[in-house]
């Protein structure tokens, strides 16, 4: 700790920082945003230099304006300054582009000079995810601070580096954790940070190479096909590559978790932060260094307003899942300490450390934690949360209040085993159901199973990520922090409070924190039975908005509950004697499983294979029979709501496009409903069908190309187009438009639509139609067989 003057002699924090150039990394994050706001509002004489990684939608200044200044954190300052707000921000804030994952912090010469000449640099940039891939955590958390220090060392007189770390660099230990370097901390791991960096870089390359082995690539391809079915080669290839990337990430996440726990840290976040401290202490050169170690940072106690929070932190996902009744159990020690500190206290402590000036001898360490002075026990927190949600329940989709469970504080291992078993059972059941040919509302059963599996997997991840923090038995010492607090004037103590003893935990949890996170979670806090119907109505209004101008439709199982096999069976049996009719029907029934499997693998291959059966069929007779097929079969299987939807689009002036794998002669009767029809067509020779398709089947990605070409030809915007379909084979078409609609979706498409928030329609057949397993045309006695040749 530096020597500090007595209270009567010490300048205030605003006075000490007045005229200073203060750079802030991580300004778009939780702590960084609060820090920039506090500097602008409470330290009027300083200049702020946010170091911001440029985004896709603009440079550093644009991203700072969009992601920081527009945040509600600045509402108080915006109200105070009124019309002068924008001018004040422009006068005092000068963002520079920088990326701590790049050597030299990704700075150009001008930005490098700005950082090197800063009086104070507060480094708060970090990947705070507890499940970040090991190499990413190393780049940001470990090497990031070192890169900032090296950039600062380029100046003739380096400024004061205040690095924000975490109290959990102490590792998983029982007893006290001192405010000291890790080298001076008992039982600290002796890991070499350089070796850890080299190992993480090698691991990324090794894992990438492993993911590209033929056996692994085949696995990703099969997983993609299992998820998306016959969605077409481009989509399956893209999904397989995403599967590969996810596998690589998961392997690196698990590697970080395993390495951290082996060395005594709860996760890769705490591990890489600890290694960063070692690197900074050893490699900072002439840069004066202070390290601030907050515990679990949560919503603001008072500044800029009670409950202010940016994004969900550690506790919020667990609390909201508990309130939704999804976490029936969670491990933890009821007498253990949950060391929480409000974000405004962390910001106040950082500013006090900066105002105290560079340390005289070596780096300083300050732990901003509550456990030693004002402990919040885990059992107390659970009681407060349970009581609050009992009084203020969240409501389910049926308008019923969710009763929160009572936790019994089981061991982490038991909860993990229970959730792992539940996840495996649900996954197996879901896989079995997805193989069944169900669709529409019946597919919702599989959807509910998938939702429950997702809940179990999330609960398991929470236990794995945060369970160790609920079982923590470390008490973080805060003597340095307390000594700094005692040097402050009364005005500073009032304006920059970081004394954890002033927190009333009952009030903070019940009146500040929980109301805030419930608001941010956007959960249902009042009974309502209209939630699902309102969403449906909003979706329907969106697709029928006048500006949509184009609606594309699939036919089978979207507008009619029929398929190419039904049409063929009807047409093929119409002119057959009884025995032949029975044989053809029996043969089709035997073939049904293999036909279904082929259809699920590749819709185009299925159509080519199946339409061979039409080889030799007389065209003129089929055209005549098609009208009878339409009247006696297809209309009885039509969805009146679907046909009405086509007419509604036409009434609104929208162009209507039918894209189907059905044959042209079969869909001829409904052609007038559409502005254009794209369908399958077979070749003709001497008045008979050849059984060969004359063009690429309109399936998979071909459908997306059809829509794109149609829109380009008529000057239409695909972002304002609507598409209706029922199967994952139609995914390219659905993804091509701005307003996809899943109609009576099969299980796989229902899952995709649910994840992506697509509008769903459940259309029913008209009542009175007699269900048949395999439709056959009414026999015309004495007629000749229309189908002949190898296709049969």
Residue 517's φ and ψ, nearest 5 degrees, are -70, -30
Q: Quick count: other Cβ atoms within 10 Å of Cβ 656?
A: 20
C-alpha angle with apex 638: 635 to 639, nearest 5 degrees? 145
Average pLDDT over residues 639-655: 94
C-alpha angle with apex 730: 236 to 437, nearest 5 degrees? 90
What band does 510 get if pLDDT is binned at 50, 70 and 90?
A: very high
What are the Cα distances from residue 729, in Å, to 310, 442, 564, 602? 40, 19, 15, 8
How far is Cα 786 from Cα 576, in angstroms, rounded to an integer?
9
The predicted structure's pLDDT at residue 8: 46
Domains and CATH numbers, the chain: 1-189+264-295+339-372+477-498 (3.40.50.720), 203-254 (no CATH), 322-328+375-472+499-528 (no CATH), 539-761 (3.40.50.1000)
How far is Cα 309 from Cα 147, in angstroms, rounded to an integer?
28
State both tokens at 33.
């945003």
Eight-state DSSP code of residue 99: -
The single residue listed with the structure tokens 């969900």 is: 312
pLDDT tens-place string over residues 276-298: 999 999 988 889 999 999 999 99
State both tokens at 641.
């709501």
Provide the 3-class DSSP secondary structure of residue 18: coil
Residue 556: name the closest of 419, 686, 699, 421 by CA.
699
Q: Which residues contact 39 (CB under 8 A, 6 or more apart)?
A: 17, 22, 24, 46, 48, 351
Average pLDDT over residues 236-244: 92
Provide the 3-class DSSP secondary structure of residue 37: helix
| Partners of residue 680 on adjacent β-strands | 663
Across the chain, what does the average pLDDT equal? Answer: 85
The predicted structure's pLDDT at residue 88: 92
The predicted structure's pLDDT at residue 791: 42
Residue 257: name the closest of 114, 55, 464, 415 by CA.
464
Tell me: pLDDT of 529 over 60.
no
How far is Cα 454 from Cα 744, in angstroms, rounded to an integer?
23
* 681-711 burial code (b ≥16 CB/10 A, e <16): bbeeeeebbbbebeeebbbbbbbbebbbebb
Q: Which residues contact 638 (CB under 8 A, 6 or more apart)?
A: 559, 560, 561, 765, 766
What band does 528 get if pLDDT is binned at 50, 70 and 90?
A: low
The predicted structure's pLDDT at residue 658: 95
**Do 418 and 329 form a contact (C-beta atoms < 8 A)?**
yes
Least confident of 2-11, 92-101, 460-469, 641-650: 2-11
The predicted structure's pLDDT at residue 2: 47
What band does 512 get if pLDDT is binned at 50, 70 and 90?
A: very high
**Strongest mean pLDDT among 58-72, 290-304, 736-750:** 290-304
pLDDT tens-place string over residues 323-354: 887 777 777 778 888 899 999 999 999 999 99
Tell me: pLDDT of 259 over 80.
yes
Question: Helices 193-211 and 233-263, interaxial angle, to 10°?
Answer: 150
**Do 766 and 638 form a contact (C-beta atoms < 8 A)?**
yes
What are the Cα distances from residue 584, in Å, to 15, 511, 570, 588, 591? 94, 73, 11, 6, 11
The predicted structure's pLDDT at residue 783: 46
Residue 403: name the closest of 325, 500, 305, 508 by CA.
325
Distance of CA 648 to the CA centre of its chain: 35
Q: Which residues contact 337 (CB under 8 A, 6 or more apart)?
A: 371, 375, 376, 377, 378, 472, 473, 474, 475
The single residue listed with the structure tokens 């089709």 is: 588
What are the Cα distances from residue 558, in Å, to 374, 673, 724? 63, 15, 7
pTM for the whole structure: 0.79
Alpha-helical (H) ranges within 264-377 are 268-283, 315-323, 343-356
Distance of CA 322 to the CA centre of its chain: 20
The predicted structure's pLDDT at residue 759: 92
State both tokens at 561.
């509950």
Average pLDDT over residues 766-774: 63
The predicted structure's pLDDT at residue 105: 65
The single residue listed with the structure tokens 């982490």 is: 412
H/E element, 693: strand 688-693
Tell me: pLDDT of 3 over 60.
no
How far is Cα 193 from Cα 277, in angstroms, rounded to an integer?
9
Q: Which residues contact 178 (CB under 8 A, 6 or more apart)?
A: 184, 185, 477
How far is Cα 564 from Cα 330, in angstroms, rounded to an integer?
53
Tell me: pLDDT of 585 over 90.
no
How far is Cα 762 from Cα 745, in angstroms, rounded to an integer?
8
| Sheet containing 721-725: order of strands | 676-680, 655-663, 550-553, 721-725, 739-743, 759-761
Residue 546: name the closest of 654, 621, 641 by CA.
654
3-state secondary structure 435-481: CCCCEHHHHHHHHHHHHHHHHHHHHHHHHHHHHHHHCCCEEECCHHH
Give percent of the chain above pLDDT 70.
90
pLDDT tens-place string over residues 703-716: 999 999 999 999 99
C-alpha angle with apex 27: 23 to 33, nearest 5 degrees? 115
Question: Regarding beta strands 296-298 and 474-476, do their DSSP bridges make them parallel or antiparallel, or are they unpaired?
Answer: unpaired
Average pLDDT over residues 446-463: 70
Tell me: pLDDT of 223 over 80.
yes
Tell me: pLDDT of 606 over 70.
yes
Alpha-helical (H) ranges within 655-715 are 664-667, 701-713
How far is Cα 414 from Cα 192, in angstroms, rounded to an integer?
34
How far is Cα 51 from Cα 29, in angstroms, rounded to an integer?
12
Average pLDDT over residues 436-451: 64
Average pLDDT over residues 522-535: 68
The predicted structure's pLDDT at residue 111: 74
Which position has the higher pLDDT, 470 or 292? Answer: 292
The predicted structure's pLDDT at residue 787: 54
How far is Cα 491 from Cα 509, in angstroms, rounded to an integer?
27
The predicted structure's pLDDT at residue 788: 46
């Amino acid at each position: 700790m530096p020597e500090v003057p007595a209270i009567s002699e010490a300048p205030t924090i605003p006075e000490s920082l007045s005229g200073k150039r203060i750079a802030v990394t991580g300004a778009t994050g939780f702590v960084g945003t609060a820090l920039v706001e506090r500097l602008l509002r409470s330290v009027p004489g300083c200049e702020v230099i946010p170091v911001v990684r440029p985004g896709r939608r603009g440079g550093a200044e644009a991203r700072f304006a969009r992601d920081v200044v527009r945040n509600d954190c600045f509402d108080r300052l915006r109200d105070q300054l009124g019309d002068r707000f924008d001018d004040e921000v422009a006068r005092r804030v000068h963002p520079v582009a920088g990326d701590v994952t790049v050597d030299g912090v990704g700075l150009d010469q001008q930005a490098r000079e700005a950082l090197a000449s800063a009086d104070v640099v507060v480094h708060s940039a970090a990947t705070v995810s507890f499940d970040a891939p090991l190499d990413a955590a190393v780049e940001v958390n470990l090497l990031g601070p070192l890169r900032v220090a090296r950039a600062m060392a380029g100046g003739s007189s380096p400024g004061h580096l205040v690095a924000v770390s975490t109290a959990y660099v102490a590792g998983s230990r029982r007893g006290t954790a001192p405010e000291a370097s890790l080298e001076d901390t008992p039982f600290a791991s002796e890991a070499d940070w350089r070796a850890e960096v080299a190992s993480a870089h090698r691991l990324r390359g090794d894992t990438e190479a492993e993911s590209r082995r033929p056996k692994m690539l085949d696995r990703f391809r099969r997983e993609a096909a299992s998820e998306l079915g016959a969605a077409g080669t481009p989509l399956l290839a893209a999904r397989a590559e995403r599967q590969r990337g996810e596998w690589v990430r998961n392997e690196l996440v698990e590697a970080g978790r395993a390495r951290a726990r082996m060395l005594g840290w709860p996760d890769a976040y705490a591990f890489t932060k600890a290694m960063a401290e070692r690197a900074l202490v050893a490699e900072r050169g002439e840069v004066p260094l202070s390290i601030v170690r907050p515990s679990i940072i949560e919503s603001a106690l008072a500044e800029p307003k009670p409950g202010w929070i940016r994004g969900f932190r550690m506790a919020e996902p667990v609390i909201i899942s508990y309130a939704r009744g999804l976490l029936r159990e969670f491990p933890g020690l009821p007498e253990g300490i949950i060391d929480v500190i409000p974000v405004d206290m962390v910001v106040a402590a950082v500013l006090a450390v900066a105002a105290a000036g560079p340390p005289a001898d070596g780096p300083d360490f300050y732990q901003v934690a509550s456990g030693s002075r004002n402990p919040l026990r885990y059992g107390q927190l659970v009681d407060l949360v349970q009581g609050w949600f009992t009084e203020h329940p969240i409501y389910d989709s049926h308008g019923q209040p969710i009763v929160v469970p009572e936790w019994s504080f089981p061991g982490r291992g038991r909860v993990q085993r229970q959730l792992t078993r539940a996840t495996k059972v649900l996954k197996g059941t879901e896989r079995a159901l997805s193989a069944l040919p169900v669709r529409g509302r019946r597919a919702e059963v599989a959807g509910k199973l998938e939702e429950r599996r997702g809940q179990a997997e999330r609960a398991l991840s929470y236990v794995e990520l945060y369970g160790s923090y609920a079982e923590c038995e470390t008490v973080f010492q805060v003597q340095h922090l307390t000594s700094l607090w005692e040097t402050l004037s009364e005005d500073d103590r009032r304006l920059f409070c970081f004394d954890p003893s002033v927190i009333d935990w009952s009030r903070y949890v019940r009146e500040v924190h929980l109301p805030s996170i419930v608001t941010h979670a956007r959960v249902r806090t009042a009974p309502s039975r209209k939630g699902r119907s309102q969403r449906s109505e909003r979706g329907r209004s969106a697709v029928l908005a006048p500006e949509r101008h184009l609606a594309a439709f699939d036919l089978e199982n979207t507008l009619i509950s029929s398929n190419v096999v039904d049409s063929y069976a009807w047409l093929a049996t119409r002119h057959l004697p009884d025995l032949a009719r029975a044989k053809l029907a029996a043969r089709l029934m035997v073939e049904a499983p293999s036909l279904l499997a082929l259809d699920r693998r590749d819709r185009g291959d299925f159509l080519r294979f199946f339409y061979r059966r039409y080889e030799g069929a007389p065209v003129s007779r089929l055209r005549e029979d098609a009208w009878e097929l339409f009247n006696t079969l297809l209309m009885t299987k039509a969805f009146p709501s679907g046909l009405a939807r086509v007419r509604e689009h036409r009434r609104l002036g929208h162009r209507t496009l039918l894209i189907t794998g059905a044959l042209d002669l079969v869909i001829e009767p409904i052609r007038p409903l559409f502005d254009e029809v794209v369908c399958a067509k077979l070749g003709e020779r001497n008045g008979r069908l050849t059984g060969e398709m004359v063009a690429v089947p309109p399936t998979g990605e071909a459908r997306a190309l059809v829509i794109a070409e149609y829109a380009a030809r008529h000057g239409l915007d695909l972002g304002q187009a609507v598409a209706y379909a029922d199967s994952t084979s139609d995914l390219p078409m659905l993804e091509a438009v701005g307003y996809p609609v899943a109609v009576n979706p099969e299980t796989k498409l229902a899952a995709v639509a649910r994840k992506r928030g697509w509008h769903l329609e459940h259309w029913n057949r008209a009542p009175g139609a007699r269900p048949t397993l395999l439709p056959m045309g009414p026999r015309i006695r004495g007629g000749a067989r229309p189908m002949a040749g190898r296709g049969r």
